[in-house]
Every structure is written in structure tokens, then in C-alpha cells.
Amino acid sequence: MNKLFKLLLVLAIASLTVSACAGAEKESAVGFYLDTVVTLTAWVDDPQVLQDALRVCGEYEGMLSRTVEGSDVWRINHAGGQPVTVSDDTLEILECAKKVSDLSGGLFDVTIAPVSTLWDFTSGAAVLPDADAIARAAGLVDISKLTIDGNRVTLPEGMMIDLGGIAKGYIADAVKGYLEGEGVKNAILSFGGNIVAIGLKPDGQPWKVGIQDIDKPTGEYMLVARNFGGSTVTSGIYERGFDLDGVRYHHILDPNTGWPVQNELASVTVFSESSMWGDALATSAFAMGVERGAEMIEGLEGIEAVFIARDRSATYTSGAGEYMLD
């Protein structure tokens, strides 16, 4: 009798455990959008939801890519100075881009495309573009000339936008919203350097995000950040770029000169709720340098940052400690 009771108890506990876990299983999916790798890891009832989420990424790529013919961005760039009607999504991104451009004193500018298309940071070839061509292209960079009237966007002829520094964040937020709508409670999503989480880990702990050690191989971390269901975005010189004659040529370009920003920084990590803002602010704060960058972040509510200098020193904004492990 005692044995039977024990057996029943074990069975009862086992069935409880199974039913508690049965709902959501850890599933992952990978996709390739806007020249970035998207990885989605979520606790879901049906793995199909992740495939649907990847399809959402594909739809946004078709809207926001500079190179996809017929996308909002493509149409703006090819309108020859005429107004173009765009989606609410594109509009929201452009409005954020304008605000961040103001906040950064023009160091964040999505009209950088005439310059950025002259650089090749992805092939691994260490080739510098023609300096005169860069100077001429830099003269075409000025987001204040992009005008928005309702859903109509006008860009002067010859200018070009590229939402590479902000669209990933917007899509990350959108995919998060989509998954939340599908009832997902725990997920960690990665869009290039953008990490967006839904909730906490299933064990109730915050997610951990490593901040790359600038002097060590990829995958070795200098600091570990915590993510409580928000966005963690890192912009750094080690992401895309090449070394030539002792100089690191990386993808964060100075809109004024068209050349990579050379300052004391190696990376900036921004903690925020919105990954679109985090994306734009990480790039901006990097371009502004520690002092001005930290000042800008301090002026924004709910946003914190950690700056890693090339000499390995770390600078935190006033509330950033909460996001750091130890």
C-alpha cells in the first residue's frame, strides 16, 4: 500500500512537471535579412510561430532595404527629388532618424548612403576609397534636407538614404511585438548587433549579453550585461571593417568627412526599451565620443549606456550599473 502510494505520488509529480513544461518548448530559427543574420530563440507551443516571425522580417526587408527595387527606401532614393508616399513604418523610422540626428549634432545621418556605398567593410579586402570621391559624397549628406509631409517624403535629387543604422532595431521591435501578440512570454532575438528580449528567462533570471573583449578573439567577453526584457545594442569598431597601416577602418562613418570616426572608443552598448532608438543612439554615442555621448544618453529617460575605450577603460551612465552583472 505504501509502495503504491509512493508510486502514485511520483506519477503525480511527474505529470505535473510535464504539464508545466508541455506548453512551451525552446525553439530557434535563423534568417538572413538586410545583410544581417537574424536568430530567434523562444519558448513556444508551436515552432511555426518563429517561421512566421521570420516572414515578418522578410516583409520589412522588402520595405526598408536600399537595394530591393520598389521598397520605400528605394523609391525615395530614385524619385529624382519628387515626393514619395511611404508606409507608416518607414515614416516612424525617418522621424526617429531626424530626432537622433538633432540629438547627436548631425553625427547620426541616414542620408549617409552616397558615402557608405563607396566603402567596402564586408568583403574583408583592405581597400580605401578614393579620397576625392569621399569628399564629394560627404557633401551630399544632410538629413535636414529630407522633408516629411504627412506620409509623403521628399529627398533632393542626388541624395540617398540607407536605414542600415536603425532599421534592424525597428524590425527587432516589430518582431518582438509580433511574437508577444502570438502569446510568447520568453524569447531572445538577435538582429546583427541588436539583442531584444521578451520577458525574462523561463527560470526568472535576466538574460545575459556578453560585451566583446576588444583585444581578444570573438566570443571572449570583457563585461557581461543583463537584459530584463528590453533591448541591448552594441556598436563597435570590431564589427565590420578592416585594418590598414595600423588604422582600423570601421563602419561608423563621420557624416561630415565620410571617413570612419576615429576617437578613444572601441564600443558603445546602449540599454533601452526600443531597439530602434537603441540602434540609432549606440551609433550616435559612439560617433560623439565618451564625454558628449554620455551627456546625450544622460539626458534621455530610460536609456543607459556603457562606453568601452580602446585603452579598455569602461564608462557607465548613471543608471547603467543595474544592467551590468556584478
Q: Is the CB of residue 210 less than 8 Å from the CB of residue 308?
A: no
Each residue 109-148 as x (binds another protein by CB under 8 A) or -, in order, gives -------------xxx------------------------
Rule CB under 8 A: choose which of 3, 218, 246, 311 binds another protein: 218
Tell which positions 36-55 bind another protein, by CB under 8 A. Answer: 36-37, 39, 41
Q: Any contact of residue 2 with another protein (CB under 8 A)?
A: no
For 199-233, letters b (16+ CB in 10 Å) and e give: bbbeeeebbebebbbbeeeeeeebbebbbebbbbb
Among the residue ranges 84-92, 137-145, 186-194, 247-255, the one whose residues contact another protein (CB under 8 A): 186-194
Q: Which is nearer to another protein, 37 or 133 (CB)?
A: 37
Rule CB under 8 A: choose which of 219, 245, 246, 326 binds another protein: 219
Q: Any contact of residue 32 with another protein (CB under 8 A)?
A: yes
Minimum CB distance to another protein, residue 298 (Å): 26
Q: Which is nearer to another protein, 12 or 37 (CB)?
A: 37
Among the residue ranges 59-67, 166-174, 190-198, 249-257, the one whose residues contact another protein (CB under 8 A): 190-198
Minimum CB distance to another protein, residue 212 (Å): 8
Task: Look at residues 122, 120, 146 and name the one whose alpha carbon lies nearest to residue 134.
Answer: 120
Which helix or strand (DSSP H or E) is residue 171 part of? helix 167-181
Task: Look at residues 69, 321, 57 and name the one whose alpha carbon lies nearest to residue 179.
Answer: 57
Euclidean distance between the first and final Cα of the chain, in Å? 52
Minimum CB distance to another protein, residue 153 (Å): 30
Q: Which is nearer to another protein, 69 or 203 (CB)?
A: 203
Rule CB under 8 A: choose which of 65, 90, 104, 234 binds another protein: 234
Minimum CB distance to another protein, residue 20 (Å): 19
Task: Look at residues 205, 176, 210 and name the one whose alpha carbon lies nearest to residue 193.
Answer: 210
Among the residue ranges 30-38, 150-158, 272-280, 307-315, the one whose residues contact another protein (CB under 8 A): 30-38
Minimum CB distance to another protein, residue 12 (Å): 25
Rule CB under 8 A: choose which of 86, 113, 195, 280 binds another protein: 195
- DSSP code string of 68-115: STTSHHHHHHTSTT--EE--HHHHHHHHHHHHHHHHTTTSS-GGGHHH
CA–CA separation, 306 vs 270, rounded Å? 7
Q: Is the CB of residue 155 less than 8 Å from the CB of residue 145?
A: yes
Q: Is the CB of residue 211 less than 8 Å from the CB of residue 309?
A: no
Number of C-beta neighbours around residue 48 at 10 A = 12
CA–CA separation, 251 vs 260, rounded Å? 6
Minimum CB distance to another protein, residue 85 (Å): 32
Q: Is the CB of residue 223 less than 8 Å from the CB of residue 271?
A: no
Rule CB under 8 A: choose which of 11, 30, 131, 244 binds another protein: 30
Rule CB under 8 A: choose which of 217, 245, 299, 326 binds another protein: 217
- Binding interface with another protein (CB under 8 A): 28-32, 35-37, 39, 41, 122-124, 188, 190, 193, 195, 207-210, 217-221, 224, 234
